[in-house]
Every structure is written in C-alpha cells, then in structure tokens.
Structure 1
C-alpha cells in the first residue's frame, strides 16, 4: 500500500490538480471517466497489495462529506461517512452537516438514523471514521430534498454516489433543487461489495438463529464469514433478487420474485387498514395465520407421511377464507400474519430451489424487509434447516438493508 502522505502534500497536489483542470465542466465527467481516473496509480501500488484484498479510495480522494445512497422502490437508504481525522479546512466544510446528522435520530417526520447500527473505526483508504445509517420512505423523496435544501447541503455537497431505481427516477429533481450530481452504480454490484466491506469491518455482522421456533431458547449465533464463497444472496426489498456469488468478482442473478416486502406492505394495507411497515409487523406479531391458511392436517387429518409433510405446515395460503364462517370471524392481526407467512414461505421455497440447482449450501438473506422482522427471519431459518435435513442454515445480517448504499459509495472510490 502506498506511503501515507502529509496533509500539506495532499493540499498542494489538490491545488495543482484543480489549476490544471480549470475550465473543464464537472458535469461532463461520466461515471466511467471517474472510475478510470481512480486507477491512475494502480501499477505503482499493485505490487504492494495482497491480490485478494480490496483497497478503497483513489490516491486523491473526493472532498468531504461522503454519502452513498440506495433509492429503492419502497425505502431509501443513506450512509454518511463521518471522518474522525479531519483537517481544519475540512472541519469548516463538514461541521454543520456533521452536527445535524449525528446529533439527531429523526429528520423531519419520516427520516430516521439507526443509531444502533453505527460502525466505528472504519478505514476507507487512509481516512478513518465512522459510518452512519439513515432511512426514509422513498415516497417522501421530495420532503427529503426540501429538508436537505433547508440544511444547506446544496452548498456543501456536490456529488453523491447512488444506486437503485430511484437514482434514475429522481436524478433530475435532485440536480435541479440541490445542484447535486448523482453518480450511479449497479445495485447488485453495490450490494455485494457493501456486504463484503461491512462483514470485514464487523466480525459480528453475519449470524443465524439457533432454535428459531422455540420462544425460550431462540437466540442469535455469530457465523464465521472468513471463507464465504460460494454463497446464495437473497435480497428482499420491494421485490426479490437471488444471486449466486462465486467470488468477489463473480456473481450472477439466478432468480427472483415480484412477491417481496412491497407486496407484504401493500396487501397488509388493503386487508387491515394499517399504514406503515412497522404497524403491519405489530399486527402480525399478535395474529395467528392458522385462522386464515389451510394446513396439511386440514386436508389429510394429520401428517402427509408419504412425503414427510408435517400436518401443521401451510398447504394453501388464505385457504380458510373460502369458508363463510372463517371469513366472518377472522381478525386483522390474523390476516397480517398470514400475509407475512405467505411472502416468507414463497421466498424461502425459491431460495432453497436455487441453492439446490446451483449446488450451494450457504444462503444469506438481506434487505429491509427483514428489519425488525424476527417473525420472517425465524420462519426462514426453520424452513431452510427443515427442508435441507439440517444441512443448511439461513444466515442474516445486522445491517440488512444498507449494503447497496455502502457499496455504491465504495464503487466510486475503489481500486483493485
């Protein structure tokens, strides 16, 4: 790795570079050009790097503050890298943003910072700091833009790395209102690189549920992710994408489904009248899907022994709703629970089939559908273990929905 330079050398080189580039329009610089410029010093540093490692950050880093954004169909995720080694010049630039973002857990009516997820002692190239994790509903994007404008981000931030469909949908709005350029990166590439980076910086990131259906004994166990490849990655957002990850640079999307977190919230709102994801989960936690679903024992009177199907597993989601007496007595809590189980069971079944087809016995479930959603996680954990005869465990992550935002920030500054 190249020798660490003094602050004076960095400032002198920055001034020299800015002078040489005078008159060139910043907006004409494409993402590909930025990627190419970040590899200028590759040959001289490559021999000093372990070939399996990733070094994040070009020799001359972009100015602070650094943000990465993943604008999904339902939820937008924002990560902020707060430097702990700022110079006096940088301190003047980032003080107001730092104070506002780090002194609050809520921003306006809809923005929230997940303080318990903050990552300390993170190094991106030669810069040390911590990463903050912020989320807000994508439906509130224009409120987010107004708040950013009010807090002066238009004057201190010129570039944000972004991924997700909303990076295209809202690009013109963000540029017009905040004079902020979005550098867009592929969301699946960003997802995988973000997962790898956070797992390397947090040894307790990956875990599984032990005894998931036992209310007294169920608990998390840390999973050793030192030698992860290959693994199946199931990203549950508004919809679901399933990726076979063979190495740090080799992955392919093998399947997916349109029935994801957006489906759960949409159906829950229709069936129960709830308005938020959190409210839907609260209802589900107090419901019983057996009052809504038709089970194997409802059809066979018990287990279906020939195919080893226990009597208490779901044979038909919402199958009981075809009977008037059941329909008349059903509660909204039961409907929310049945909706959650239907979505979760479908995702688990597809994931298991993908693992079998690809010959992979390790699967990680990520995405904001799993945030505070222990019911879904325990159900997935039980399903993976049962249908694999104990050979597979469903793995989960502490920063389940933020990998895309972290990854696209790293993509801008990554050299190999």
Structure 2
C-alpha cells in the first residue's frame, strides 16, 4: 500500500461521502446511507489498509461495519475545516456564514480558525423528499427535481402580485406572500385540470418553500453577526437548479451575498481526511 493512501468519510443521514487518496490521486465517492454495508465492503476492497477518519451521524455504525481501527472527528469541525479547501482565497480568507443544506440545515460562522454553530433548521433535502412523497408518491430525488423543474410555483403559492391584483404592489410582486396559500378549497394533486394542482406545480412549491425558509434563516443569522457572505454547501443542491435559484434569489433580495461550492457536500469528508494529515489538493 502506498503510504499516502488515506480516506476521510462523512456518513450522514442520507449519503456517505468519501474523500480519499489512492496511489497519490485524490478522488471522491458517494453511497446511500441506507446501504452502509455496501460502503463498508467497498472500503475494505479499495482501501484495505489505508488509515480512515470518520465523521457524521452514522460514522460509528459504519466504523463497526468496517471492522478495523479508525479515527473519529466531530461533524461540525470536519465540515468547517474541509470547506476551506474548496473555497477561493478571497472568500476563505475572511469571515463568512456557512450553511450546510443536507437532510436538514446547519448554520455556522467561520472566522479564521474559529467556527461556531449559530443555528439550524429541520428543513432541507429530507423535507423535500418527505413532503414530495406524501403529496405525489414520488420517492426518487432526481425525479422530484425533474418534475419540479417543469412546474409553476405561481399555481399553488400566493404571490404578492396576486394580492395586489390590478394595483402596483409596494414590494416585488413575485415575492411569496404565502407558501401554498393559493391552493383552492377541496383541491387535490392531479393533472392541473378540474380544480386539481398538477404534481409538477406542487413540487415546485415544495422546493421553493424550503429554499426561501433556509435563505431567510441564513440571511438573518449572517446579519446578526455582521456578515453578508453566505456559503451554501450540501447534497441537496446536487442537480437541483430550482432549490439553488430559490436560495440565491432570496438571499440576494435580503441583502446577502450567496456563494455555492462545487463538491461542497464533501466538505466533511475532506475535513476528516485533513485530520489524517492528508490534503486533497485537487478533487
């Protein structure tokens, strides 16, 4: 085994993220968290002797399945350490708010070598999947996002322009006055005809609601600490353009400066890898 082989593993509520170095090359890998045995078997085959550092809520369970000595690292510390490796110097070098939008959302202030958790919410990717499942019966995340991308939030959501119909509203008419506030009495999910709400429109409103709530929390938390820069990471953004648009537009409207990080969902795994003294220069 080359001495440089090592892996940082973030076993979260939805995904197991692995940042590893093998034969001197930095790589990334993901597994579903409901398939921990599959992740453990892969680690045993691909990295049989590599030192491992685990973090995340399912880290201890995965470590038991791996069945060899591993290091453990607190989740928040790993994430805040790893995200700096993915940020451009002009952002990493100043204080900023970090929002990790995974199954739920955790919010931190990072200032130099100091990080403090300042809040969070149960809203996140898990909310999107759960509500979408209840409303439409769709289980697959990619299918949910694809359907939502074809939807119109203005069908189920009450916009400011709907309230001020025929008048000039005092604020942006496209702002949401009430999430799902335009759903008529007796309405059900259907094809959008005969008083039903199309599933695409309902799913667009689910994602928009989560995005606006997360952005509102983050902008308020940033302002409370004298910050404007908000860095958004997390697996919920994977292929989810509607969520990113909702968060980006609402963050900007509220005076924040949003930044989205490529491979940001691997921040915890990269931080765990860094704890082993390994730095993935390129991923």
Query: What is the TM-score with the length of structure 2 in the denominator?
Result: 0.88
Paired residue for 2:32?
137
The runs of 5 or more residues in structure 1 that have no matched partner are: 1-61, 84-128, 204-223
Q: CA deviation at 1:304?
A: 4.0
Equivalent position to 1:182, from 50, 62, 70: 70
Paired residue for 2:236?
369
Paired residue for 2:8?
68
Could you list the per-position Cα deviations for residues 190-227 of structure 1 after superposition, in whole angstroms to 9, with x for gaps in the alignment?
1122111233xxx5xxxxxxxxxxxxxxxxxxxx6266
Contact 1:158 1:181 in 2 (8 A): no
Counterparts of 2:264 and 2:8 in 1: how far apart (Å)? 16
For the pair 1:317 / 2:179, whether they are aligned, the reply is yes
**Higher Cα Rg: structure 1 or 2?**
1
Q: CA deviation at 1:326?
A: 7.2
Paired residue for 1:87?
none
Determine helix, strand or coil for the equivalent of 1:131: strand
Counterparts of 1:152 and 1:169 in 2: how far apart (Å)? 19
Paired residue for 1:168?
60
Equivalent position to 1:339, from 185, 189, 206: 206
Paired residue for 2:147?
283
Q: CA deviation at 1:169?
A: 3.3
Counterparts of 2:272 and 2:141 in 1: how far apart (Å)? 26
Counterparts of 1:145 and 1:361 in 2: how far apart (Å)? 40
Contact 1:292 1:326 in 2 (8 A): no
Determine helix, strand or coil for the equivalent of 2:64: helix
Q: CA deviation at 1:266?
A: 1.4
Determine helix, strand or coil for the equivalent of 1:321: coil
Counterparts of 2:208 and 2:169 in 1: how far apart (Å)? 21
Counterparts of 2:200 and 2:163 in 1: how far apart (Å)? 24
Report 1:108-127 matches (<5 A): none
Counterparts of 1:227 and 1:408 in 2: how far apart (Å)? 18
Q: Structure 1 pair 189/147, CA: closer, same or farther in 2 (3 Å)?
A: closer
Counterparts of 2:186 and 2:98 in 1: how far apart (Å)? 41
Counterparts of 1:273 and 1:241 in 2: how far apart (Å)? 28
Counterparts of 2:108 and 2:102 in 1: how far apart (Å)? 14
Contact 1:67 1:409 in 2 (8 A): yes
Equivalent position to 1:257, from 121, 130, 148: 121
Q: Structure 1 pair 140/285, CA: closer, same or farther in 2 (3 Å)?
A: same
CA RMSD of aligned residues (A): 2.3
Q: CA deviation at 1:357?
A: 0.7
Determine helix, strand or coil for the equivalent of 2:84: helix
Counterparts of 2:128 and 2:187 in 1: how far apart (Å)? 25
Contact 1:320 1:326 in 2 (8 A): no
Contact 1:167 1:182 in 2 (8 A): no
Aligned length: 272
Could you list the per-position Cα deviations for residues 158-214 of structure 1 after superposition, in whole angstroms to 9, with x for gaps in the alignment?
642111001123332332xxxx23311011111122111233xxx5xxxxxxxxxxx
Determine helix, strand or coil for the equivalent of 1:181: coil
Paired residue for 2:109?
244
Query: What is the TM-score with the length of structure 1 in the denominator?
Result: 0.61
Q: Which has the higher contact order (CA 8 A, sep 6+)?
A: 2
The runs of 5 or more residues in structure 2 that have no matched partner are: 190-194
Contact 1:289 1:338 in 2 (8 A): yes
Q: CA deviation at 1:71?
A: 0.5
Contact 2:86 2:262 in 1 (8 A): no
Paired residue for 2:99?
234
Q: CA deviation at 1:68?
A: 1.0
Equivalent position to 2:226, from 359, 375, 378: 359
